[in-house]
Chain A
Amino acid sequence: MNRLIKTFSILTFLLVAAFLHAQAQSVNITPERKRAIDSLALEKVRDLSKYISIIGDKATSMTESQRVIERTMELFMEGAQMGVSSLNRKGVRYYPVQKYLERLRALNYQRINIEWYNIQYISDLVQQPDGKFVGVITIYQRFEGLMEDGMRYVDVTKKDITVYVERKQQQIGGRLIGFWDVLLGDIKVTETKRG
């Protein structure tokens, strides 16, 4: 009888261990999956770049830019902020993302031209304590503003964008379908060149 209980206990332990192991494995990100997540995240970053260009464009109407700001905010986790550092000032200035976009819209230039470099760097995804994965995508932006008196302001900024990746499930037609949800987080904006 004792032997039976012992065997049963071992079997139960092995089953629980195997289940826990499977659970742990289920969130592993293989290189193929990482590539798929990277392109999903890059898509969001490209959307962000596109929206920033539209918001900054003086030809965009107030109603349209407001709509684009709202769309932009949907890309972000709640509470995400922009930390801005410049070449001639120490430290980082913090802005909530919405405020940053509104400031961009209100810039006092007659014409603004925002372009994005064809360079991006994507870090590995690292799991944080709550199980979500976090990575950083680095991109570069060239900003050119033309004042009414013809004065030109140009800068190049590096944008380090936090990307949160979470495994979620959704019920579609009675079936649970798993998918990777990608949201943007804090962005560090560093001025790299002024000209």
Chain B
Amino acid sequence: MITRCFVFICLAGLTVAGSNKLCAQKIAAGDMIDLYAATKQLSQFIKRFNNEEDRQGIAYDPTSKLYREPEQRKQYLKLLFDEQSITIPQSLRTSFIADVTRKERPVFLDFFAGEWFAEVKISVSYNGKEEEAILFMALEKAGQGYKWVINRMYFRPYAPYIRQTTKNPNNFLHPQSHELGFMNLNRVFESPATAEDYTSKDYRSPDYLDIFMYDLRRGVIKFITVNDTRFHFFQIKGWYFEVANFNRPGLNSGWLINNLVQLPPEQKNVMLSYIYRENR
């Protein structure tokens, strides 16, 4: 409640202080307060997380004493959680904020440091039927700068055909098969689910992205639209959190943390498997 009052007073002050008279009387003060409070871009989420900008969204000079100042940062961090999320207990938030703002070694988010990626849900037409595909996008260094690339994906229609198991060593073509003109190949293709047992040890099963690209080239997949974007952060040692966009009125909107998990490093792969929809 104190935090809400703090935000309201700060933002109301800003609204009154607005110097540019672009907005006319029809624009309600409440709207302005909501829009100031909204975390409008992921860049702003990172800057608020680190306390690298003032309440009007103007970046602090890194030499300023306000830059990354811990007390203000704690206030910002409290505002970066989805208040409607029931999956994040207050105690967990408190210990997360205490951990990232600890005096001796505070932790900050870094856009370029990796260990975070985007999950983008898109609609595609697959064999004439609308389906959802999930793309996992990563920021990659290239040329003189950076670009977002499709790192991997999940596509439900492929799930039954994606092999998750290891090869069965009892399935092989014996070393004299050549003398029979490989007539025993019929056993390989009898059961499509185990055909890969007969491939070279260097063979890598195609993943979702391989097949998706192949189908795209064959013309059986057509892009329709983008439906949702969220971000997964593993940058803070010992923690995982998800950031999603909440398009709603009020002071708690825009890019907010809607999932927070205390994650020992050895469990990171389990979380990644879950996000990538492996074994689901």
Contacts and interface: CB of A to CB of B under 8 A. Distances in A.
Contact of A91 (B41, B57, B123, B249): B123
B21 A118 contact: yes
B1 interface: no
A113 to B, nearest CB: 7
Given A129-B145, A192-B247, A117 B31 contact: yes
Contact of A131 (B20, B44, B145): B145
Given A91-B225, A192-B247, A127 B26 contact: no
Category for how many chain A residues contact B:
35 or more
A149 interface: no
Contact of B35 (A31, A119, A126, A136): A119
B23 A117 contact: yes
Contacts of A94: 225
A126 B22 contact: no
A92 B147 CA distance: 22
B143 A130 contact: yes
B98 interface: no
A129 to B, nearest CB: 3
Contact of A160 (B41, B143, B226): B41
A91 B144 contact: no
Interface stretch (A56-64, A137-145, A177-185): A137-145
Contact of B145 (A120, A121, A126, A142): A126
A158 B40 contact: yes
A121 B40 CA distance: 7
Interface string B29-55: 001100110001101100000000000
A174 B40 CA distance: 45
Contacts of A31: 59, 61-62
A129 B144 contact: yes
B35 A140 contact: yes
Interface residues of B, number: 34
A93 B146 contact: no
A31 B61 CA distance: 8
Nearest first, the 4 A-B pairs at minimum CB distance are A129-B143, A127-B145, A91-B225, A123-B43
Interface string A88-123: 001111100000000000000000010111111111
A171 interface: no
A79 B142 CA distance: 23
A20 to B, nearest CB: 12
A25 interface: no
A190 interface: yes
A118 B18 contact: yes
A172 interface: no
A176 interface: no
A127 B146 contact: yes
Contacts of A129: 142-147
Contacts of B145: 126-131, 133
Given A120-B57, A122-B57, 4 more contacts: A91-B224, A92-B225, A129-B144, A142-B31
Given A91-B123, A142-B27, A190-B247, A121 B144 contact: no
Contacts of A124: 43, 59, 111
A141 B29 CA distance: 14
Contacts of B27: 115, 117, 142
Interface string A2-14: 0000000000000
A188 B247 CA distance: 14
A1 interface: no
A138 B26 contact: no
22 contacts: A31-B61, A87-B247, A90-B227, A91-B123, A91-B227, A115-B23, A118-B18, A118-B20, A118-B22, A119-B32, A120-B57, A123-B43, A124-B111, A128-B147, A129-B142, A129-B143, A129-B147, A130-B145, A131-B144, A138-B40, A158-B40, A190-B247
Contacts of A93: 225
A156 interface: yes
B24 interface: yes
Interface in B226-274: 226-227, 247, 249
Given A115-B27, A116-B23, A193-B249, A130 B35 contact: no
A49 to B, nearest CB: 8
A142 B36 contact: no
